[in-house]
Structure 1
Amino acid sequence: MSATRLLVLGVVRMRGQAHGYQVRRELLTWHADKWANVQPGSIYHALKKMTGEGLLEQVADEEGVSAGPDRVAYRLTEDGETEFQVLLGRALVEEDATGYSLSAAVTMMTSLPRARAINLLKQQLAHLEARATSTHYARDHAVEMGQPAHVAELYQLWSLHAEASVNWIKAMIEHLEAGEYVMAGEGGPAFGEPPE
């Protein structure tokens, strides 16, 4: 799954409509190029590709809104809203070797109702706990599995990463269950929600 695709849809969604430059500026302000590997050129590519797929539509520029050369504004279509919700849910559940998609999903998770976000994160937790168990086993049995003894150090690294991920997701679930953060449908301005 592409973190860029999720974040571009998310930014256009939260703004109601946005020019490519506005999407790019927003994501670079968030430093998404570092934690989600969102490259500036890929933002414009994603906007054009998703417009061609019917997920975004071009809208007329409001007079005076854009003084620069980037005068094409975009907004989500109904299919774009569906795609955003599907990508967000998938990124919160599926294993993510790079961490880019999960990082993008955590950024946009307040766009979901609280109960749905908790449920999806619990599914992610199950995946992470399974990975932790398998890396612990590999660490403890590397030589028996025919690996050189020093390879156990690599399994130890993976084991520590898996444990940290499990602890992090458990804490995030606890925060959500305790009512932290404003989530979609809770009456307050949830980050990522479109303007009214």
Structure 2
Amino acid sequence: MSATRLLVLGVVRMYGRAHGYQVRRELLTWSADKWANVQPGSIYHALKKMTSEQLLEQVDVEPGEGGPDRVAYRITAAGETEFHVLLGKALSSPRDNGHEISAAVTLMTTLPRKRVIGLLRQQLVRIESDRLSARLLAEDSSDWGQPPHIGELYRLWERHADASVGWLRELIERLEGGEYVMADDDGRAFGEPPDDSR
């Protein structure tokens, strides 16, 4: 999964309808180019590709101001399903590059609180298992005939897992304590579509 794909679906969904420049501007205000490596070209490519996959639909074409026309998009029912699937995967088992979990945390408030907590707990179990594996590898690496310094790689993996475990436990605790407005709470959660587009 691409973080760009999730973020583009999320922004179009959030606005109800949005054109490429609007999606780009929104993601740049979030600094997504830095923490998710979302580049302007990848945004426009994602919009076109997801339109061809019927996850988005074109709803309007506005004349561009001295440039190309602006095409407005809206998320389809299939796109809504894809958004929830991608968000669930990114919260429960993101890839190691960090882009997916960053995108997922940005959009997690669009899901019910208990759902997010459950997905994060799945990720926590996986990372705790990875941490234990890294610890065992670090302790036993010289027994396998590997050069002794290879154990440093396993210790690095263990420290990364330690940090992730600590952060996940704290986030779950904050969510259980009612922090952040989520999709099933009173009030409008960040990333939720306008009322007229639901």
Q: Contact 1:54–1:79 (CA<8 Å) still a contact in 2?
A: yes
User: The residue matched to 2:148 in structure 1 has which SS?
Assistant: coil
Distance 2:132 2:7 in 1: 32
Q: Contact 1:8–1:47 (CA<8 Å) still a contact in 2?
A: yes
User: The residue matched to 1:148 in structure 2 has which SS?
Assistant: coil
> How far apart are residue 24 of structure 1 and its match?
0.8
Amino acid at match of 2:37: N
Question: Deviations 1:129-151 (Å, cap 9, x if unpaired)?
Answer: 01100011111111012211111
Aligned to 1:166: 165
Aligned to 2:89: 90
User: The residue matched to 1:60 in structure 2 has which SS?
Assistant: strand
Amino acid at match of 1:5: R
Distance 2:5 2:41 in 1: 12
Q: Contact 1:121–1:173 (CA<8 Å) still a contact in 2?
A: yes
Q: Contact 2:61–2:69 (CA<8 Å) still a contact in 1?
A: no
Q: Contact 2:56–2:76 (CA<8 Å) still a contact in 1?
A: yes
Aligned to 2:153: 154
Name the TM-score, length of structure 2 as normaliser: 0.94
Q: Contact 2:17–2:72 (CA<8 Å) still a contact in 1?
A: yes
Name the TM-score, length of structure 1 as normaliser: 0.95
Aligned to 2:18: 18
Q: Mean alpha-carbon deviation: is it higher for 162-171 or for 95-104?
A: 95-104
Distance 2:47 2:184 in 1: 27
Aligned to 1:71: 70
Q: Contact 1:27–1:33 (CA<8 Å) still a contact in 2?
A: yes
Q: How does 1:66-145 map to 2 (within 5 A)?
A: 67=65, 69-145=68-144
Q: Contact 1:20–1:70 (CA<8 Å) still a contact in 2?
A: no
Amino acid at match of 1:147: Q
Structure 1 residues 35, 81: closer, same or farther in 2, change over 3 A? same
Aligned to 1:46: 46
Structure 1 residues 112, 18: closer, same or farther in 2, change over 3 A? same
User: The residue matched to 2:145 in structure 1 has which SS?
Assistant: coil
> How far apart are residue 69 of structure 1 and its match?
3.3
Q: Contact 1:19–1:73 (CA<8 Å) still a contact in 2?
A: yes
User: The residue matched to 1:37 in structure 2 has which SS?
Assistant: coil
Amino acid at match of 1:29: T
Amino acid at match of 2:11: V
Amino acid at match of 2:27: L
Question: Percent of aligned positions with the same letter in both sequences?
Answer: 65
Point out 4+ residue stretches in structure 1 off by more than 6 angstroms.
none
Question: Deviations 1:129-178 (Å, cap 9, x if unpaired)?
Answer: 01100011111111012211111112111110010001111111001000
